[in-house]
Amino acid sequence: MLSSRRRVQLSKLLALVLRHRPERFGLRLDAEGFVPLADLLAAIPDATEDQIREVVAASEKPRFEVAGDRIRARYGHSVSQPIAYPEVEPPERLYHGTAARSLPDIRRGGLRPMGRQYVHLSTDRTQALVVGRRHDPAPVVLVVRAREAWQAGVRFFRPAAPLYLAHAIPPEFIDLE
> Could you read off the pLDDT of 35-79 as tens digits, one per residue?
999 999 999 988 999 999 999 998 777 889 899 999 998 877 666
- The C-alpha atoms of residue 40 and residue 45 are separated, in whole angstroms, by 8
H or E element, residue 57: helix 49-58
- The C-alpha atoms of residue 35 and residue 26 are separated, in whole angstroms, by 11
pLDDT-derived band at 170 (thresholds 50, 70, 90) equals: very high
Selection from 137, 145, 155 nearest residue 98 by Cα:
137
pTM for the model stands at 0.66
* Domain residue spans of the chain: 4-73, 87-176
87-176 classified as CATH 3.90.550.10: no
Asked if 121 and 166 count as a contact pair (C-beta separation under 8 A), the reply is yes
Angle separating helix axes 4-15 and 49-58, nearest 10 degrees: 90
Class of the 4-73 domain?
Answer: mainly alpha
Query: CB neighbours of 33 closer than 8 A, spacing ≥ 6?
Result: 18, 72, 73, 74, 77, 83
> Could you read off the pLDDT of 109-162 as tens digits, one per residue?
999 998 788 899 999 999 899 989 988 999 999 999 999 999 999 999 998 778
pLDDT of residue 63: 87
CA 15 to chain centre: 10
pLDDT of residue 140: 96
Taking CA atoms, 35 is separated from 23, 132, 151, in Å, by 11, 30, 34
